[in-house]
Amino acid sequence: MTFKIIMATLIVGFVGLVSVLAMSGKIGQSAMDSMLSATESQYDFGTISMKDGDVYHDFKIKNTGIEQVTVSKLSTSCMCTKASLTAGDKTEGPFSMEGHGGIPRIDVAIPAGGEASVEAIYDPTAHGSSGIGRIERSIFVDSTDGARTELKFKVMVTP
């Protein structure tokens, strides 16, 4: 009988703790999570034609933390994609894929509650005729605390 009471107490306590953490937003958050959040982390360019050239989209990111976050690096998943970061009056980039030229450290500070913009530039002609069809790419925003924010887009490319 005592064992059942102890187990019931432990279960109720655990459920209570999980509920409190879930309401505070701590469930699923690890030490490596960034305080940077995107108002949209995915964008669909829809259908575009290669002959019309590059397309652009601005992703807005915000520091939702209570301390400054420093963006250390900006990179992309493919050479067909470039990205620039603008915070305040400072713009860094455009940068492309790691391993294809150097991606320098940028150290752009975003204060608590501050916002920045990441411009995605996609070149539908970069892969020639093999770049026709559905394409999905990513932009990676790395911060000095080791966190990485991923911004994704997709596009349907026609000749």
Report whether pLDDT(2) > 60. Answer: yes
pLDDT band at 33 (very low <50, low <70, confident <90, very high): low
The pLDDT score that the predictor gives to residue 143 is: 94
- Of the two residues 10 and 108, the one the predictor is more confident about is 108
CA atoms of 117 and 150, how far apart (whole Å): 13
Report whether pLDDT(121) > 70. Answer: yes
CA atoms of 51 and 73, how far apart (whole Å): 31
The pLDDT score that the predictor gives to residue 81 is: 97
Single pTM value for the model: 0.77
3-state helix, strand, coil in the chain (%, to 5): 20, 45, 35
The pLDDT score that the predictor gives to residue 31 is: 37
- Tell me the pLDDT tens digit for each residue of 92-116: 999 999 887 788 999 999 999 999 9
The pLDDT score that the predictor gives to residue 23 is: 41
The pLDDT score that the predictor gives to residue 11 is: 54
Write out the H or E segment, with its range, that includes residue 75.
strand 69-76
> Mean pLDDT throughout 7-33?
44
Report whether pLDDT(19) > 60. Answer: no
- Of the two residues 86 and 10, the one the predictor is more confident about is 86
The pLDDT score that the predictor gives to residue 99 is: 84
**Which has the closest alpha carbon to 31: 56, 65, 71, 79?**
65
